[in-house]
Amino acid sequence: MICLRDPMAIAPQPILLGIGGYFLITLFDGKHSLPELREAYSRQFGKVLAAGKIEELIAALDQAGYLDSPNFAARRAAILDQFNASSERPAIHAGLCYEGDARKLREELAAFFDPPQGPGRSPRNRNHAAPAGLIAPHIDPRRGGPAYAHAYYELMGCEPPELFIILGTSHYGAGPELFTATMKNYVTPLGVVETDRDFVARLAKRYTGGDLFADELLHRNEHSIEFQALFLSWALGTRGYKVVPILVSSFHEMVAAGRMPADDPRVGSFIEAMRAELAAQSRPACIIAGVDFAHVGRKFGDDRAADDEFVKWVEREDRDLIGNIVRGDPEGFFHAIDKDKDRRRICGLSPMYTQLELLRGRRGRLLKYDVAMEPPTQSAVTFASLLIE
């Protein structure tokens, strides 16, 4: 069986297809007539498809929300209207990826800070300088909790910034827009993290490379910013600061072309607009990138398992890449990925590159590096936390 799932949840439930149904939908491209589909099925499987079966498949897919059709457009419009009607973005993953109950959540998050994997619950020293930037994972907190803890520990014991620019990986953005903002506050079980709507509005006005709100619905189900809001609310509470949530979509087309992202007008314009808006601020700010690193093994398309030998190679390459972050070198960072056309599938390429451009030349420090092995799928994900001073 083949399972189809819509990560945007416009189609609310996953569906299972047999191999025959799956073969047919690979030909649902607007170019094949029903007789041509029946003929292709016969050639592939050596038998005649019963009358009406393709029509039944089409109707079932449409009813479930998996066809680009008037039914799908109506579903999407209703969801968008509901999303737009609220000033808050709910904690979609509460109770799934982390505890939904506030008391249990505090205990769960606090445990991630405990040694030997975590940095501890109390700051080592007081009144240290606040970070200019943080790199934190976006992997499930229950797999990457200590790495999150090492990043957000750096906000404890200092005079925290009053503004956090959160650059999250956009896993589902597929349109021409590369940067997607929202003015909605991010809800967590520990309270509401307030978005600086005035800052977002000014940024959108300065930005000439696209429409920062064209794909705002992407924020609805995306976890990469939600998890940062969660740890911010634990480390700092929900008062005394505001956030600017920005999802950053794939720069893969730049990797494929070997072109520096800042040379793309969409990226260059965003960096210019954000620099100008930050320069106009009197408040101390911190730029957070919610990112993971390599995604390797059979689950992600490699023809070999993510065994110990493969993962050791991945870690060496990751640490070379991290060296460019430590040096504050966005060009070196991009070239390190471009050299093998992103063979390791660096999930946070786009937010990290953008962060490095905004904090160009600032030194970084690796806080924790880790690997989440997934033996059932013979795969692995790497992630890290870093401080940018």
Q: Output the six-digit token pair for 187.
A: 């809800």
Q: How does pLDDT run across 334-359, given as a tens digit for each residue? A: 999 999 999 999 999 999 999 999 99
Residues of the chain with pLDDT under 70: 125-127
Tell me the one-letter amino acid at 113. F
What was the pLDDT predicted at 78? Answer: 95
Q: What 8-state DSSP symbol labels residue 10?
A: S
Domain 88-388 has CATH 3.40.830.10: yes
Those residues with Cβ within 8 angstroms of residue 358's Cβ, 6 or more apart along the chain or in another chain: 133, 165, 271, 274, 275, 278, 287
313: helix, coil or strand? helix
Domain ranges of the chain: 2-81, 88-388
What was the pLDDT predicted at 125? Answer: 67
What radius of gyration, in Å, describes the C-alpha atoms of the chain?
22
Instruction: Name the β-bridge partners of 169.
Output: 248
Chain center to CA of 57: 33
The whole-angstrom separation of Cα 337 and Cα 334 is: 5
The whole-angstrom separation of Cα 364 and Cα 37 is: 56
Q: b vs e for 147-166, b when ≥16 Cβ sit within 10 Å of the residue's Cβ? A: bbbbbbbbbbebebbbbbbb
In this structure, are residues 177 and 210 in contact, taking their beta carbons and an 8 Å threshold? yes
Element (H, E) at 358: helix 349-358
DSSP string, 36-77: HHHHHHHHHHSSPPPTTHHHHHHHHHHHHT-SSSHHHHHHHH
Q: Which of 128, 132, 130, 129 is nearest to 278 (CA)?
A: 132
What's the predicted TM-score (pTM) here?
0.93
Strands 285-290 and 163-169: parallel
Element (H, E) at 379: strand 379-388
The alpha-helical segments, DSSP class H, found in 131-192 are 141-153
In this structure, are residues 347 and 295 in contact, taking their beta carbons and an 8 Å threshold? yes
304: helix, coil or strand? coil
The whole-angstrom separation of Cα 374 and Cα 376 is: 6
Backbone torsions φ then ψ of 12, nearest 5 degrees: -70, -25
Backbone torsions φ then ψ of 249, nearest 5 degrees: -85, 180
First to last CA, the chain: 50
What was the pLDDT predicted at 126? Answer: 64
DSSP string, 232-283: HHHHHTTSS-EEEEEEE---HHHHHHT--GGGSHHHHHHHHHHHHHHHT--S
Q: Calculate the alpha carbon distances from 61 to 5, 65, 77 in Å.
A: 12, 6, 18
Residue corresponding to tokens 């393709």: 54
Q: Output the six-digit token pair for 149.
A: 């803890």
Length of the chain: 389
Query: Helix %, strand %, coil % for the chain, to 5?
Result: 40, 20, 40
In this structure, are residues 389 and 364 in contact, taking their beta carbons and an 8 Å threshold? yes
